[in-house]
Amino acid sequence: MRRHSMQPIEINGLTLVFLITILICMNPHLLVKSVWLS
């Protein structure tokens, strides 16, 4: 098992939450749209 070999395909939950947070911060109207749709 090599820990230093990073696989871009596997994404853990923390990275996913981080990316979603960045998207929401850059596009606040997307959050408003999703809230209105749901």
Residue 24's contacts (CB-CB under 8 Å, 6 or more residues apart) are 30, 31
The ranges assigned to domains in the chain are 12-38
> What pLDDT sits at residue 34?
74
Cα separation, 4 vs 33, whole angstroms: 40
For residue 11, what are its two tokens?
Answer: 């994404």
What does the DSSP 8-state code read for residue 17? H
pTM: 0.43
For residue 8, what are its two tokens?
Answer: 């871009």
Residues 17-30: tens digit of each pLDDT:
898 889 888 888 87
Residue 17's contacts (CB-CB under 8 Å, 6 or more residues apart) are none
